[in-house]
Every structure is written in structure tokens, then in C-alpha cells.
Amino acid sequence: MGQKINPNSYRLGISKGWPVRWFIKGGYPKFLEEDEAIRNTINKRIGLAGIANIEIERTQGNLRVYIRAARPGLVIGRGGKGMEDLNKAVADALRKVRGGPNKKGTRGEATESKVALSLNVEELKRTEVSSKYIAQQIAWDLEKRIRFRRTMKKYLEQIMQNRDIKGAKIKLSGRLDGNEIARREQLSNGSLPLQTLRADIDYGTATAFTTYGTIGVRVWTYKGEIFEKKGGEDHERRNDRPDRSERPEMGRRPGPRS
């Protein structure tokens, strides 16, 4: 039996942080629905900007959204108009989820509350590799009817040119090149230790909407092992170990008396 799991969720709290951070007592279903509405609105409005990551942070009365995009100029717009439109769209989506000021919650309180919304856009540097952005680029190329094998080789070589990357894998599934029978194809290079928890593995997915159906794109990238995230203690343990030269010699067993 195959035992597959999302590499990102597998490492949450160990080598990867949570993409959503809020510790508010009560109202979990409402906040979860709001977070999903925020992500869907951002992906729908500025999907062409190459979104690599979306992080949501809630505190009492504040809601901060951090967006990492490969092309932040498309998000900000001329004179910051794009950010204003995006902020307004997210606020409208939240208002729809909350249902207005007259809707009551499960305990009788009004679900509409004044929350200060702030959007922050960060640029994805060229030296950084994001699996989600690469998967989206592959999906865009497949929608332009570029041959899938050529596309896979192109982006795999592009990934491996980065110094920090030690291994990568690209997997496509669907009606590749319009064939009637759907199948899966993959290309990989280097090592990819998926079961090692301290391995820094980035995973991203995307969907190509073609005229002959949808094609799923999955990308894995391996950036080496992490010892610093939780490894302060681990490093101390390793440094406390004496070297072989400093270890006391073990006593030899006495040989037979002559």
C-alpha cells in the first residue's frame, strides 16, 4: 500500500512553520472559512503575479496577510491602486463569509466585528526556488500547448542550476499532449529523502486547464538538511560529544598467561 502524505504538512512544527497563525478562543469554523476565502480571493485576483506563499496572522482586532510573489509589480499596480483594489476585494469576501452585522453566531454574539486588515507583499528573489511557483509556470506552458516532456526538462534543469538545490522531481498526470488515455510521467534529478524529517523539502502543486482536460502538476525540491530550526539543542548535543582523540582508551582484555 502506498503511504503518501503532503511533505509540507508532514514537517509542520518540525522544520516548517505554520502558514496560518492565530490563537483565538472559539469560532474555529468561522476563522477557517475566512482564511479559505482570503486565499481564494488572492489567487483569483493576482494569480498571474506568481504567488509563492500566503501567510495569515491574526491577533485581537488585527488581520495581517503576507503575500510572496515573483512579480510584485502586478500586485501593487500603478500608484498602489492594485493593492487598494485587492484590499477591498478581500474585505468584501470576508464580509460575505461573516454574513453581515445582523447575523448571530452560535452563542448569540454578532459575527461581524471590526478587524483591521493589512496586506503586505514581498518579492520572491531570483536566487530562491519556490515549488509552487515552478508548478504554476509549468501549468502555464502546458496551457500554451508546449510539449510536456520539453517543459519538464526545461524546468528541471532550471531548478538544478541553483546552488542550494540538491534534488528535484516533477510529476505530471492527465491527458498529456491530448492523448485519449491519461497517464503519469515524471522526471527527477539528485536525491529526495521524503521520509527524513529534517530534510528541507518544498512541495507545490498546480493545475493546467487545457482544451482536452486538466493536467495536474506536482513539484518537489530538496534544499539540504536543517539543523538550525530546532537544532540548537541538537548542535549542543553534537558539540558535547568528545572527539575520538579525546576519548579515554578502553582497557584491553588480558591475554592468556604464558
pLDDT at 256: 59
3-state helix, strand, coil in the chain (%, to 5): 35, 30, 35
The CATH class, in words, for 7-123 is: alpha beta
Radius of gyration of the chain (CA): 25
Q: Which residue has the cell 508532514?
A: 10
CATH topology of domain 131-237: Ribosomal protein S3 C-terminal domain (3.30.1140)
Nine-digit cell at 76?
Answer: 501593487
Q: What is the pLDDT of residue 257?
A: 57
Distance CA(77)–CA(87), nearest Å, equals: 13
At 133-192, the pLDDT tens digits run 999 999 999 999 999 999 999 999 999 999 999 999 999 999 999 999 999 999 999 999
Residues of each domain in the chain carrying CATH 3.30.1140.32 = 131-237
**Is 159:129 a contact under the CB 8 Å cutoff?**
yes
pTM of the model: 0.79
Cite the residue boundaries of each domain of the chain with CATH code 3.30.300.20.
7-123
CB 213 within 8 A of CB 176: no
pLDDT at position 236 is: 38
Yes or no: say if 39 and 48 are a contact pair by the CB < 8 Å rule.
no
Strand 167-174 relative to strand 116-123, pairing: unpaired
Is residue 65 within 8 Å of residue 87, measured between CB atoms? no
Tens-level pLDDT at each residue, the chain (258 residues): 667 889 999 999 888 889 999 887 788 888 899 999 999 999 999 989 999 999 999 988 889 999 999 999 989 888 889 899 999 999 999 999 888 554 444 443 434 457 788 999 999 888 889 999 999 999 999 999 999 999 999 999 999 999 999 999 999 999 999 999 999 999 999 999 999 999 999 999 999 999 999 999 999 999 999 886 444 444 433 433 344 444 444 444 555 554
Q: What confidence score (pLDDT) does residue 228 get?
A: 61
| pLDDT of amino acid 7 | 92
Separation of alpha carbons 225 and 50, rounded Å: 27
Burial class (CB within 10 angstroms; exposed 0-12, middle 13-18, buried 19+) of 20: middle
Residue 7 near residue 203, CB atoms below 8 Å: yes
